[in-house]
Amino acid sequence: MSTAASSSTSETIAEPGLKIKVSTKEGEVFELDEKVAKMSQVIRGILEDLGEQNGGDDSVLPLTQVETRIFRKILVWLKYHAGHDKEEAPKAEEDEIIARFCEEIPEWDQKFLNVDQAVILEIMLAADYLDIKKLRGLCCKTVANILKTKTVEQIREMYGIENDFTPEEEEEIRKQTAWCEDEPPRQGSNH
C-alpha cells in the first residue's frame, strides 16, 4: 500500500529537471530537485538572481543557519508537499484568514509535527530562515494550539519563563481576566 503511494509520489515529482545543491551549517551537501528546492523562497530568490542556467553546475547554496538534523526533517516535508500540493490560485486575504483560524491542520502535517516541542520550534526557526511560509504557519499554529491548552503556570514551567509581575500587578490582570476563567480568582493566590 505504501509502496504504491511512494511510487505515485515518485512519478509525480521525479521528472527530469535541474538539481540544486545546498549545504547545511555543518557543510553537508544535499542535492534537491528544483521543484523541492524552490519551495524555499530564499533558495528560489537566489536562483532567480543568478539565473537558472547556473543552477546545474557545481554551485552550492550554503544554508548557514540550518543544521543538518533539522534540514533532513524539513526535506521530508518539502518532498511530500512538492509531490502532493496542487497549484493553488492565490487566496483572497479573507479566505486566508478564515483558513488560518478555522481549518484544521491536515492529517499528514499533524503527524509530521507530532514531535517534541523543541523540535517544532527548531523546524519553525528553520522554516522562517528558509522562508517556507506554509511550513512556518503550520509550526506556529501547532505551537499556538499547544499553548492554548496550557495554563499560565504550565507555560511558565514548560519554557522556564519567570513570573516577573509583582503580586499587585498579577492580581490586577487576574481581575481583568477572571470572567474568562473557569474558576473564580482565588484571593491572595501566589504563583
Identify residues 55-94 at the interface with other proteins (CB under 8 A): 58-65, 69-70, 72-73, 75-76, 79, 82-83, 89, 92, 94
- Distance of closest approach, residue 18 Cβ to other proteins, in angstroms: 15
The full length of the chain comes to: 191
Q: Write the CA distances from 72 to 57, 149, 183, integer angstroms.
A: 23, 30, 45
- Interacting residue with other proteins among 17, 48, 97, 134 (CB under 8 A): 97
Q: How many CA atoms lie within 13 A of 64 on its CB side?
A: 0
Min separation Cβ 9 and other proteins, Å: 5
Strand ranges for the chain from DSSP E: 19-23, 29-33, 60-62
x/- binding map, residues 122-151, to other proteins, per CB under 8 A?
x-xx--xx------xx--xx-xxx-xx---
Angstrom distance (rounded) from CA 137 to CA 53: 32
- Binding to other proteins (CB under 8 A): which residues in 153-182? 155-156, 158-165, 170, 173-174, 176-177, 179-182
